[in-house]
Amino acid sequence: MIKRSLILSFRFFCSLCLFCLICVSLPFEINGMDYRINGNVEEGDRQELEAILSEAENAYLSMFKLDGNDRLDIYICKDLPEFIKLTGVEWWHGGRFTNRTIYLQRPAALRRLGILEQTVSHEFIHFLVWKTAGNNCPVWLNEGLTLNLSGERQQMDCIGINVDENMNTKDIDALICSRDREKARLGYCQAGLLVSILLKKQGFEEIRDNLARFKLQKPPQEPIQKN
């Protein structure tokens, strides 16, 4: 009798775990956009991410003249090694968008650093750029536009960095993709400056229209990450 009771309890426990796993990965919808959060989802993460994504949609979706009829996956990595393995970027990155998925370091860690909302919004803008330009947007433009739209450029620590608005864009791409943190920081500062100049000269609407034209072109060759 005791043995049967233990078996039933174990089966109930397994069923409960499976149910919780399914519930965590169930998609949710905001303004027609379908999201699915997978990976190491801790209690409270889902609700907070839903709120951040809803705010990002309201802020940026109409700017790109996009509807919400699409799907975006969010994968929360269990630890730093998994994040680096899945994204190929260095440890100082909080997230990365690729293949219709936003990969995030653990929200608790990003929350402690005060950059959870900033990171999710940043990667959401990358998603919108991808929807507009496909894989054809140059790295410098993709990062520079995202930094300016999210307001991160104003918060970046570019003090002491000798930015040059005439730097070749291929050189900026190589800096951004560098595995050296200081070189990458220089690349992001350069990209942010260059795109801020373009926004003043052309306006966002013209840049957005150019992004749409990129979608019809051959993808640019991506720079190889350098040490």
Maximum Cα interatomic distance, the chain, rounded to a whole number of Å: 81
Q: Give the pairing of strands 95-98 and 33-39.
A: unpaired
The Cα–Cα gap between 140 and 144 comes to 6
In the chain the domains, ranked by start, together with CATH numbers, are 25-133 (3.40.30.160), 135-227 (no CATH)
- Per residue in 168-221, pLDDT (tens digit) is 999 999 999 999 999 999 999 999 999 999 999 999 999 999 999 988 876 554
- Per residue in 31-66, pLDDT (tens digit) is 567 899 999 988 789 999 999 999 999 999 999 999
Q: Which residues pair with residue 37 across a beta bridge?
A: 74
Tell me which long-range contacts 201-208 makes (C-beta under 8 A, separation of at least 24).
204/63, 204/149, 207/141, 207/145, 208/63, 208/64, 208/65, 208/132
Instruction: Report the 10 Å Cβ neighbour count for 205.
Output: 10
The Cα–Cα gap between 90 and 225 comes to 11
